[in-house]
Amino acid sequence: MPDQLPVIAPSILAADYTRLKQQIDACTDGGASWLHCDVMDGHFVPNISFGPMIVEAAARCAPDALIDVHLMIENPGNYIEQFVRAGASLISFHIETEPHAHRVIQAIRATGIQAGIAINPATPLSLLEDVLPEVDLVVVMTVNPGFGGQKFIEPALGKIRRLAEMRDRLDTDFLIQVDGGVGPDNIGRIADAGADILVAGSSVFSAHDITDRVKELARLARTGELKFT
């Protein structure tokens, strides 16, 4: 469990790969304790991003960070060992990609790391009901997966609230991660809706000062302050 919620998880998909170590250092200097690694295969999502090698590089850049691997790939169960060896602390996969989600969650946890389940904007929360007691994290996609820099899907705020209510009703303790389109102008409302882990890619790495932006996002998330950019 992170020391203080909500937590900012910079998504390195948006990083400048000619300066990855410098940019990750800027994030951790700003207090980021999670790093979000978006793995895309060009099949489940249109884009191809990166694999275990980049996850390992990120883990070596920030040995104290929680390495949060978000698999947007088909057959996620085939790749667990590779990402665990690369340094993943947590692996999330999409419920839409895996008919045997319970088995894959068990396989992730059997390696000793944490397991998360992700859902697309159009996927109903009811599809997750029977695995919620088994996961450490639920990733609510607030953009259509595959690319950074998209606009936050506003109706997802209600979905976040409903998921938090489901967690209370089921008396489980998974963390709620919100992923996509998070920035200074909406992070207060998203945290207020119940988000524990806030993924931010372009709003972090497009900033003139990455360290200051991570600190600002954490402050806005904790105060619920509205900021109009």
Q: Which of 52, 116, 180, 194 binds ligand DX5 (CB under 6 A)?
A: 180
The yes-or-no answer on residue 212 being catalytic is: no
Instruction: Establish if 23 lies at the interface with ligand DX5 (CB under 6 A).
Output: no
Window of 82-90, 178-186, 188-196, 213-221 that interacts with ligand DX5 by CB under 6 A = 178-186
Residue range at the interface with ligand DX5 (CB under 6 A); choices 11-19, 89-97, 154-162, 189-197: 11-19
Binding mask 129-158 for ligand DX5 (x = CB under 6 A): --------------x-xx-xxx--------
- CA distances from residue 47 to 57, 73, 214 in whole angstroms, order as listed: 21, 10, 26
Number of residues engaging ligand DX5 in binding (CB under 6 A): 22
Q: How many CB atoms lie within 10 A of CB 130?
A: 10
- Compute the distance between CA of residue 34 and CA of residue 146 in angstroms, rounded to an integer: 20
Are residues 163 and 138 in contact, defined by beta-carbon separation less than 8 angstroms? yes
- 39 — phi, psi (to 5°)? -100, 120
Residue 41 is among the residues annotated as catalytic for this protein: no
Smaller CB separation from ligand DX5, 75 or 172: 75
As a dihedral over the C-alpha atoms of residue 156, residue 150, residue 118, residue 113, rounded to 10 degrees, the angle is: -130
CB of 9 to Zn ion, least distance (A): 9
150: partner contacted, choices Zn ion, ligand DX5, none (Cβ within 5-8 A by kind): ligand DX5
DSSP codes joined into one string, 148-168: SSPPP-TTHHHHHHHHHHHHH
Interface residues with Zn ion (CB under 5 A) are 38, 70, 179
| Residues acting as catalytic residues | 38, 179
